[in-house]
A and B are shown apart, each in its own frame.
Chain A
Amino acid sequence: MGLTGLEIYKLLPKKNCKECGQPTCLAFAMQLAAGKASIEACPYVSEEAKAALGAASAPPIALVKIGVGDRALAIGDETVLFRHDKRFEHPPGLAILIPDDEGEERLRERLEAFQRLCFDRVGQIHCADMVALECRSGDPATFAAAVKAVLAATDWPLVLISENPEVQRAALEVAKERRPLIYAATRDNWEKFAALAKEFDVPLAVRGENLASLVELVNQVTGAGVSALVLDSGARRPNQVLADQTQIRRQALKRFRPFGFPTITFATDPDPATRVMEAALYIAKYAGIVVFASDDPAEVLPLVTLRLNIYTDPQKPIAVEPKVYEIGAVTPHSPVFVTTNFSLTYFCVASDVEASRVPSYILTVDTDGTSVLTAWAAGKFTPEKIAQALRESGIAEKVVHRKVIIPGGVAVLSGKLQELSGWEVLVGPRESSGIPAFLKQYWQSN
């Protein structure tokens, strides 16, 4: 692992000049330790310190870029085995496998299908983002023609799959401007592949027969001067892939240099369900690229979603989704509680509402996962926001009455909320433990 904030701090000039954008040197050191700042931001750091920091903070796994421009894929630069320890940095490329030997018509159809593999996930578009073109024809000209067709149809990065250097050369002549990944250097062809990678300045995938032979091969290829590598241990059965992926990541984090590169995996089982599960496993376990042998949207959507979830930064407040929750067998006459989306707050309210045995709605307002009073203090639980939630959450269609119960701690919001929302605002107890008694007294008598 890298240096702690305190260790980095000891190497800094301690001027507290704020020129790095941080209020103090210690704050800057903590940002460096969290990988959220670069040492270059400090104009006064000594060369010795820079060297010491550089060596210690050099990424254990190299960052490898495939493709060019906005669509370029950056993989690697990972620092942890588990996302909750910090975060996973670069989502793996999802490469759709396309063969070159099915004729022009079929290739065009496949590319059209590929371009439809884009999905709206929480307001953002996420796609299958690589084409893995496989040379099954064995013919350089056919492959090069297919590469040309892919380049014309899409600007996503490419993986060129062929162990024949002649085929790769023909393809690279066409695709060199787009910095494709060439797959793969093996024990038999590595010298020619290393030469190709250097000549065309493209990243190179290396495939061993097992971890030991992979180490040997990586050393040979790096010895020949190629530094942008993607690793394949050669395993294809999921249990072995899992074991190898884990070893590669684990050893890389211990600074075992030959494994300090992102990996490529293949999910090509003929059975769709198995194929998707394989790919899901690789997404969760350290793959830099997952080559997937299907362009069925029903298969790709869950993978895109899983990738998004796994690579979400976990350093976020502990929150529940802001929406309407139903506790018990609710009816249009059930009471409506409003609270914040801090999970602890929500679960307290939910369990006390449950204890009251009165089926109820709980509307959680998005306060970035802060509690009622914290959100009130920070201006995140305002009459405006609650009124908006009442309007937009759909709660108005679920109940026939227009009464909303707010936490007693924010009683001061009631007047303005009533005015803004048109709902009658009942001020509930300060503590959710008072909800059962409150409901007995104020709700059932109504």
Chain B
Amino acid sequence: LLQTKEPLWWEEKLSLSPPTLEDPTDDWGRLSWALQQKGISLVWPVRHLLPELPRTLRAADWQVKVELAFLDKGLCELQGVKPAGREEGAWGVAVDLGTTTVAAELVDLATGQVVATAGTYNRQAAFGDDVISRIVYATETPRGREELQQAILETVNGLIDELCREAGVGSDEVRAVVGAGNTTMIHLLLNLDPTYIRLEPYVPAANAPPPVKAAKLGLKAHPEAWVYLVPGVASYVGGDVVAGVKVTGMGEEEELTLFLDIGTNGEMVLGNREWLMACACSAGPAFEGSGITCGMRAVAGAIEEVEVSPGGGEVFYRTVDGKKPLGICGSGLISLLSSLLRAGVIDRSGRFVEGLNTPRLREGVEGKEFVLVWGESTGHGRDIYITQGDLQNLLRAKAAIFAGLRTLLSLVGLEAAALERVYIAGGFGRFIDVEDAIGIGMLPDLPRERYAYVGNTSLKGARLCLLSRRAWQETAELARRITYVELSVGNLFMEEFMAALFLPHTNADLFPSVKGA
């Protein structure tokens, strides 16, 4: 990971020449002139610095360190002046503001080292599982916006406390915070009205909101610390995705690359150093374990891999940490879908095959369902099963992802084979089996070595920006370069979506390496 030593907050040593009768420049003028010599222009100084400035400069014998916060190209804020030579640490926090989980890192701004890492659930979940429910809550409930803002602030403050405790650092020693999140999350954090994000033509209040002071926002950090938010592209392609694109470097490289966040919003970015386009295919939360009867997140006890014997008589599975099974996580669902098809339990339209002779296939409250694990073997004593509705849900989720990618490709007149690299991001990406994902037609049938997992690139991108003023500027520029494609305009996406509602696809020629396709 590229780490230049130009963090968004830093100390600059200055050796000022003492004033003389020939050079009676005022103290503030002398200081800012010295900075200008280094290419640093200041915005009006923090007022509280001026009263003591004359004594501070003289006490330090004109050898000072100034604390600088970067605001914009060549424009900085002076946050403190103190004698040179005193060694103190300064820290920054990078945050990935996820809809479901929030992750944060404490970073030593002088060395670039990550000194502590923490993650937790977003407390906004109490007001809705997905961004839409939260927008509705924020819009339709009195004080809803304040409640949601409070929830995310508490979440992030809790993490900062935890990080600082772990590293033995005071939270007022945190001098800069960079957050990356989807557009809705950023609106809710800043208490911007999110109403029009979800209403046609889907316009956010600001894709690139200016930084805000921690104290003003209510974040636990040095009160003068700026909170920077990675700019987004559109209502459903936010700074978390831009951060990811920045981290992968795809915007500077020649190879045609696809960046794919397999999550609820299903954001993807296609392009290279010449052009970039993005869309959000709204895959839904199925692969995050939500909206599936026995679905769960990929934590201990989640079935992460499944093999069904031909005819569906037996089921072999593996759980996270080898614990007794509690449910199925995203990778398990992909593996299951692929395996049920191979075993002849479901047909290519994702429906249970008629007349199968196995007790595992039974009639449930909502139609047919297939039992993976009987209650006696599970961690909670209840059967773990998959319903016809679950299967349709999964089919739609995988179809949305594939259709989004086909739509982007067709808008620029390219075939999937032209993809030289596919980066899979998101907390989910770690668990995904590319072979299974191709088997069900969720990912294009490319040589497997073109796929790479990149993990939580939102957090990595936030850290990169924290540690590099140049990266921050480039990321902002990157966000402006990305062209957002609205999939609900025209019927290209819908046609692709319908065609992908099949295992692996209605056009089997797209999946030559899938057996029997």
Contacts and interface: CB of A to CB of B under 8 A. Distances in A.
Interface in A314-340: 314-318
Contacts of B276: 26
B389 A433 contact: yes
B13 interface: no
Interface string A354-384: 0000000000000001100110111110000
B416 interface: no
B126 interface: no
Interface string B262-276: 000000000000111
A434 B367 CA distance: 6
A332 B389 CA distance: 30
A247 interface: no
Interface stretch (B109-117, B425-433, B435-443, B479-487): B479-487
Given A317-B491, A378-B200, A23 B392 contact: no
B275 to A, nearest CB: 5
Given A26-B275, A431-B393, A433-B392, A317 B494 contact: yes
Given A26-B483, A379-B199, A431 B389 contact: yes
B412 A4 contact: yes
Given A430-B389, A431-B389, A434-B389, A23 B367 contact: no
Nearest to A371: B396
Contacts of B198: 377-379
Contacts of B366: 429-431, 433-434, 437-438
Contacts, number: 89
Contact of A378 (B199, B364, B389, B495): B199
Contact of A344 (B291, B387, B498): B498
A140 interface: no
Contact of A318 (B277, B413, B414, B494): B494
B203 to A, nearest CB: 11
A16 B275 CA distance: 11
A246 to B, nearest CB: 25
A436 to B, nearest CB: 7
A307 B198 CA distance: 36
Interface in A16-75: 16, 23-24, 26-27, 30
A34 B257 CA distance: 24
B204 to A, nearest CB: 12
Given A316-B491, A344-B498, A6 B387 contact: no
A9 interface: yes
A272 interface: no
Contacts of B282: 374, 377
A5 B411 contact: yes
A181 B37 CA distance: 75
Interface string B378-400: 00000000011100110000000
A30 B411 contact: yes
B132 A376 contact: yes
Q: Which of B199, B489, B491, B498 has the most CB of A within 10 A?
A: B491
Nearest to B489: A315
A315 B132 CA distance: 27
Interface string B246-288: 0000000000000000000000000000111100001010000
A434 B132 contact: no
Contacts of A370: 488
Interface string B198-218: 111010000000000000000
B413 A317 contact: no
A438 B367 CA distance: 10
A53 B413 CA distance: 18
A433 B396 CA distance: 14
Contacts of B413: 4-6
Contacts of B485: 30
Contacts of A10: 274
Interface in B178-203: 198-200, 202
Contacts of B482: 24
A315 B486 CA distance: 13
B1 interface: no
A429 B387 CA distance: 13
B365 interface: yes
Contacts of A374: 282, 488
Contact of A23 (B284, B411, B483): B483
B516 interface: no
A297 B491 CA distance: 35
Contacts of B495: 318
B194 to A, nearest CB: 12
Contacts of B414: 6
Interface string A3-14: 011100110000
B236 to A, nearest CB: 10
A344 B413 CA distance: 27
Contacts of A6: 275, 412-414
Q: Which of A9, A369, A433 has the most CB of B within 10 A?
A: A433
Given A317-B494, A434-B367, A27 B389 contact: no
Given A16-B480, A374-B282, A433-B367, A26 B277 contact: yes
Given A317-B494, A348-B392, A433-B366, 19 more contacts: A6-B414, A27-B484, A30-B485, A315-B491, A369-B494, A376-B132, A377-B132, A377-B198, A379-B198, A379-B199, A431-B366, A431-B387, A433-B367, A433-B387, A433-B388, A434-B365, A434-B366, A437-B367, A441-B365
10 closest A-B pairs by beta carbon, nearest first, are A431-B389, A434-B366, A26-B483, A4-B413, A24-B483, A377-B132, A433-B367, A315-B490, A433-B388, A6-B412
Interface of B: 132, 198-200, 202, 274-277, 282, 284, 291, 364-367, 387-389, 392-393, 411-414, 480-485, 488-491, 494-495, 498, 501
28 contacts: A4-B412, A6-B275, A6-B412, A6-B413, A6-B414, A16-B481, A24-B483, A26-B275, A26-B276, A30-B411, A30-B485, A315-B489, A317-B488, A317-B494, A318-B491, A318-B494, A348-B392, A373-B284, A374-B282, A379-B199, A431-B366, A431-B388, A431-B389, A433-B366, A433-B387, A434-B366, A436-B367, A437-B365
